[in-house]
Structure 1
Amino acid sequence: MFVKLRKAVFPVHLFAATALIIWILFPLTWPVNMPSSYWIKQVAENLGYAVVYIINTAVLSPKLLTKRRLGFYIISVIALIILMVKYNGWMQDSLHIDAAMAKMFHPYVPDHHMRSAWTILMCLIVLGFSNVTTVAKKLQSHELAIQVSEKERISAELSFLKAQINPHFFFNTLHTIYALTDTDPASAKESLYTLSHMMRYVIYETKQDVTTLKKEVKFIEDYISLMRTRIDSSVEVSFTVPDKLRDINVAPMLFLPFIENAFKHGISARQASYIFVNISEAGGTLKFMVRNSIYKNTNKELDEEYGIGIANTKRRLDLLYPGKYNLVVNDDANTNEYLTILTLNTNAN
């Protein structure tokens, strides 16, 4: 809308300037040489119209018209037009235009009423152009205020969503390490060391709007490494990334809720389980895919927690990548497989 308003104002100014030049130079088309006093009057008269435009644009329109003080505006405009009529009449008399015109045109009868009517008409035209400009600028300011307000709202909402994701991740990871303290203290110690690196990422990188894909991939690798310590070796887990992956900017911890969801629902102690995570990038499109076996958990509280994580991520995608992402989720009850595919248009970021 901003661009449309700017494009609308420019033709108005261009048309007004062109009309003014034509009006000043129009007597050159007459088959007579006008006296110098006439040209002085033309310039002075149009300078008066310019003053009317400036006064209306800078004072009357923004302070009265746009604030709906219509009575004061009408009175001020009438006073301004009267002054302009008097000013043009004074210029006509001071420069003896009627006498000069009478020498050139026979017969010549001055029509003061027509001259006043023409001045009023010109003032109204100038005021119209001025008001169009003022209204357009007001709409621009209003649009800018809306955009700033919306940006602040989105920033606040994103901060809230990230604040929900970070503790959720931290407490779940600590729960995993806690389970190892009795069964495998050495692995618990190593997991704490890995967690310290991950928390550095969570604390510092998530303060920014974006991080690099390389850092995000390393974070996912560490998370999967931690999760491996709490699952049976029979569970097939893989994370594949091309050797040459363009290090583009992405929102931090954007993919984690989907991977958390896979570990939550994709593992069974009785049946064959698998979790396959893949990230690829080609042709300006980043593709993230998680494919896992699915076994519904009967713990409704945990289900609700992870549901909130996925919902928050979808909302973050709406805010950060509006119209630039595609999320496909397929829950196949026949094959007990859950498939998530997220594609991001990286050229637009």
Structure 2
Amino acid sequence: MQTAKNWLEKNYRIVVISFIHVLAWVLYLGFYATAFIQRGDNLDYRIIFVLSVILTDVPVFYYSYLSTIPKLLVGQKVWKFLLITLAILILYPLSRYGIDLLFIKYYDGELAPLTIISTSQFTTVFGVRALAALFVIAMAGIGKFTFDWFENARIRRELENQNLLSELAFLKSQINPHFLFNTLNNIHTLAYKKAEGAPEAIMKLSELMRYMIYESDMSFVPLSKEIQHLKSFIDLQELRFKQKGIVNLEVTGDVKQREIAPLLLLPFIENAFKHGYDLNKEGAIKATLHIGDEIAYEVENLIPSTDTLLQKDVVGGIGLENVRRRLELIYPKSHTFLVNESSNSFTVRLTLKTHE
């Protein structure tokens, strides 16, 4: 049972296309059976009529569908395509006529009105069957272009998804070196000053890197782990500044069973530490994280009132611009991202719908 399921998943598109082809032929032959066979015609004639249609229409359809249309018409060899089509319009009625004669000669049953058609209405029937051949070729063209359009649309979607995944992976890969570069600089400062917090800072960095390397590869992570990662980063920064409580982080709401894209909260705090002002005091950075129907996340830090240019590299740099693009890719139309700069503060606000 599992083998059949795996085969079906692997060949799903082929099965669907084959089913559509079979259904189309059933409807087509059903149309022939109702439109060109009279109620009073005998069963033998009905069977022979449908069989002759199958023997001529199916080859013409798939020859056009698989060969002349994709190789000649699509391949810009229009004149060659028209010549082959003209040949089909001549050979198709003759083939049907030859099949009719074979059935009349070798079949013992009653085939009227097939006998009448083959003997006294050749010219009229020839024209009708030429139009029937043209109809079959047209249906092959419509079918080919329709299936190709859906196939091309599927390929475009796959390429777009691959491009988005590649871009997302690139954006995420930028976070690790950016974060590591800043943190190593901080630890170097602690070590240079022979601060007691250097060993603890290295341990904190180890925890952070373990999360970034082994857990952030997933599309979404538990919100509780992301918050813990954020708190570990804050602890590491406060070791650097030798000041507790620099970040006033307030988390409200139920974080259980909630998920978020990894490494999404960190750049807000990292940006505040990098560009903040007067960080050697408690509450220099205010951060709130409220979990309800949506996540509401806000980080505010002070900036020098006389030099707001310090913040101008933020929006266009790796940090918040990276976050902005990741949000567009991961949470399209389900987030808001606002940056507000006043005379003495810089605030970033994020709201998003999360995965449960």
Counting only pairs closer than 5 Å after superposition, residues 104-183 of structure 1 correspond to structure 2 as 110-183=120-193
Partner of 1:292: 301
Q: 1:63 aligns with which of 51, 62, 71?
A: 71
Give 3-state SS (helix, strand or coil) of 2:241's partner: coil
Deviation of residue 96 (structure 1)? 4.1
The count of residues paired between Structure 1 and Structure 2 equals 335
Please give the per-residue CA displacement for 1:318-346, whole angstroms capped at 9, x wherever unaligned: 2222222211222233xx33322212222
Deviation of residue 195 (structure 1)? 0.8
Stretches of structure 2 that go unaligned for 5 or more consecutive residues are: 1-15
Stretches of structure 1 that go unaligned for 5 or more consecutive residues are: 1-6
Q: 1:210 aligns with which of 209, 220, 223?
A: 220
Partner of 2:4: none
User: Which one is further off, 134-143 or 270-279?
Assistant: 270-279
**Cα RMSD (Å) of the superposition?**
3.6
Please give the per-residue CA displacement for 1:229-284, whole angstroms capped at 9, x wherever unaligned: 2336486522222463134332221222211122233331699853222223322x
Corresponding position: 1:48 with 2:56:
yes
Change (3 A) 1:116 1:197: same
Deviation of residue 129 (structure 1)? 1.4
1:35 touches 1:100 (CA, 8 Å); kept in 2? no
Counting only pairs closer than 5 Å after superposition, residues 1-349 of structure 1 correspond to structure 2 as 17-26=26-35, 29-30=38-39, 32-34=40-42, 36-37=44-45, 39-96=47-104, 100-101=112-113, 110-183=120-193, 185-231=195-241, 233=243, 236-242=246-252, 244-268=254-278, 274-283=284-293, 285-295=294-304, 304=313, 307-308=316-317, 309-333=319-343, 336-347=344-355
1:24 touches 1:43 (CA, 8 Å); kept in 2? no
Change (3 A) 1:272 1:196: closer
Q: Work out the CA distance in 2 between the residues paired with 1:313 and 1:340.
A: 11
Q: Work out the CA distance in 1 between the residues paired with 2:192 and 2:113.
A: 112
User: Which one is further off, 75-84 or 262-271?
Assistant: 262-271
Partner of 2:6: none
Deviation of residue 123 (structure 1)? 1.2
Change (3 A) 1:95 1:228: same
User: Which one is further off, 86-95 or 122-131?
Assistant: 86-95
Change (3 A) 1:132 1:96: same
Please give the per-residue CA displacement for 1:3-26, whole angstroms capped at 9, x wherever unaligned: xxxx9xx99986774353132134
1:275 touches 1:293 (CA, 8 Å); kept in 2? yes
> How does the TM-score come out when normalised to structure 1?
0.81
User: Which one is further off, 302-311 or 185-194?
Assistant: 302-311
Change (3 A) 1:40 1:83: same
Q: Work out the CA distance in 1 between the residues paired with 2:99 and 2:64.
A: 22
Deviation of residue 193 (structure 1)? 0.8
1:240 touches 1:279 (CA, 8 Å); kept in 2? yes
1:235 touches 1:267 (CA, 8 Å); kept in 2? no
Change (3 A) 1:174 1:81: same
2:273 touches 2:279 (CA, 8 Å); kept in 1? no
Deviation of residue 299 (structure 1)? 11
Change (3 A) 1:38 1:190: closer
1:16 touches 1:129 (CA, 8 Å); kept in 2? no
Q: Work out the CA distance in 1 between the residues paired with 2:115 and 2:68.
A: 42
Partner of 2:11: none
Please give the per-residue CA displacement for 1:110-147, whole angstroms capped at 9, x wherever unaligned: 22121011111111111111111111222222223322
Change (3 A) 1:138 1:201: same
